Amino acid sequence: MAQIDDLKTRTDDQLNDQLGELKREQFNLRFQAATNQLEKPSRIREVRRTIARIRTLQNQRARAAQAKG
């Protein structure tokens, strides 16, 4: 699971790439859950929360950039 400190050190492009990967993984996990093939149900929660962390960080950075300029 990605910690917030690890995410803060990444660039915006890296965060966007990771967000895309996590969204694909979330889709696959939902599909596996629907077909009863999910091996680790707790992974759904981890992915969802990591997506939320990335979005929160992106919003904070956007607000900071807007405040400066």
Annotated domain spans of the chain: 4-68
Q: Which CATH class is domain 4-68?
A: mainly alpha
pLDDT for the residue numbered 69: 80
* Whether the predicted pLDDT of 25 surpasses 70: yes
pLDDT for the residue numbered 48: 97
Q: Dihedral angle at the C-alpha atoms of 42, 47, 9, 67, nearest 10 degrees?
A: -130
Arithmetic mean of pLDDT, 20-37: 97
Average pLDDT taken over every residue of the chain: 94
